Amino acid sequence: MAQSKSLVVVFAFLALASVAFSHKIGGHGGHGGNGGGGYYLYPQFYDHSCPRAQEIVKSIVAKAFAKEARIAASLLRLHFHDCFVKGCDGSILLDSSGTIASEKRSNPNRNSARGFEVIDEIKSALEKECPQTVSCADILAIAARDSTVITGGPSWEVPLGRRDSRGASLSGSNNDIPAPNNTFQTILTKFKRQGLDIVDLVALSGSHTIGNSRCTSFRQRLYNQSGNAQPDPSLDPSYAAELRKRCPRSGGDQNLFFLDFVSPTKFDNYYFKNILAAKGLLNSDEVLLTKNLQSAELVRAYAENSELFFEQFAKSMVKMGNISPLTGSRGEIRKNCRKVNRD
């Protein structure tokens, strides 16, 4: 009796110890911090193996931002488009090669995703500092945080320890990343598939407080929203008229517009205030107010209280960053973010 009790105690201790010392947790796949490698992410992951990793990322993001403010938005979006396809595994960074069809060619990414050269520069600096140690997937996560901070948004500790995929998914990129003309329900379903909820959807959409969109991503709203040759009634008419000047019925597909016309390079809550004024640029922005009561409440709350938005944004970014990471011995640490290592 006494013996079996002490055995239980020993097992309990071992279980706890393995969590405390190796960051290993009960290993099944899925969302929420455990990609099936059985390990979870934690902010101190590189503290011993590459102590300067985070300051190196930050300084190169700062340098790129000084050259061009939009790069912060582009880097933030790369992490999103990475995480929604096979998890946060750096798959978006792979170029096409033998067996790999690059995600860069997908509908959401083609002529749109950018910032790859900055990731390359960070990677090559990190390879000099500590070879084959810091994953491309982690670089994306840190750069997304630094981009948020440098534009005036909230900060958070980034859980780390993701490894890089040995493949990409062009079809996943086409199907799993929400499109600007998806219905509210489709967008929410695509978030739920990733383990994210309606609160995450509204908070993370707040990323559109910075950055640009091409005319082609919202043209439909200006001319023929629902097949009746009328503009979207939930778009302010004078704002629509302004947009039509540089986003004609045909042509000008690549012309750029600010997602938040009030403060386009500042991370603040004007994105939500604009939506309330019927001046959200994308259909996917405005539907957060017009198609669902709960998300409408959240839009109003964040428009009123930027602290509340910042707090939730940081939480939701950590949650998004935890989508199915490769950990343990799964995946690899790429030497070059554009290609898998040779065997």
Ligand X SMILES: *[C@@H]1O[C@H](CO)[C@@H](O)[C@H](O)[C@H]1NC(C)=O
Give the active site residues: 81
Residue 251 in the binding site for ligand X (CB under 6 A): no
Which span (111-119, 185-193, 224-232, 295-303) binds ligand X, by CB under 6 A?
224-232
Cα–Cα distance, 202 to 285 (Å, whole number): 9
3-state DSSP assignment of residue 164? strand
Q: Torsion-angle region of residue 182: left (phi > 0), alpha (psi -120 to 50) or beta? A: beta
| In the complex, minimum distance from the CB of residue 94 to ligand HEM, in angstroms, rounded to a whole number | 19
Among 35, 61, 89, 114, binds ligand HEM (CB under 6 A): 114
The single-letter DSSP state of residue 162 is: -
Taking the least distance from each CB to ligand HEM, the nearer of 50 and 179 is 179
In DSSP terms, 164 is beta-bridged to 332
Contacts 24+ apart (CB under 8 A), 24-30: 24/328, 29/324, 30/195, 30/324
Binding residues: 82, 85, 87, 89, 91, 103, 178, 208-209, 260, 268
Which residues, numbered 177-206, are part of the site for ligand X (CB under 6 A)? 179, 181
Residue choice 37, 180, 328, 331 for contact with ligand HEM (CB under 6 A): 180
17, two tokens: 């110890």
2, 229, 251, 343: residue in contact with ligand X (rule CB under 6 A) = 229
105, 214, 266, 330: residue in contact with ligand HEM (rule CB under 6 A): 214
Buried b (16+ CB within 10 A) or exposed e, 198-230: bbbbbbbbbbbbbbbbbbebbbbbbbebeeeee
The smaller minimum CB distance to ligand X, of residues 229 and 293, is found at: 229
Would you count residue 74 as binding ligand HEM (CB under 6 A)?
A: yes
Count interface residues toward ligand HEM (CB under 6 A). 26
> Which C-beta is closer to ligand X: that of 1 or that of 229?
229
3-state secondary structure 17-59: HHHHHHCECCCCCCCCCCCCCCECCECCCCCCCCCCHHHHHHH
Should residue 8 be labelled a site residue for ligand X when binding is judged by CB under 6 A?
no
C-beta closer to ligand X: residue 200 or 232: 232
Write down the least CB distance from residue 15 to ligand X, Å.
50
The residue ranges that bind ligand HEM (CB under 6 A) are 70, 73-74, 76-77, 80, 112, 114, 178-180, 187, 201, 204-205, 207-208, 210-214, 217, 259, 282, 284
The residue ranges that bind ligand X (CB under 6 A) are 179, 181, 224, 227, 229
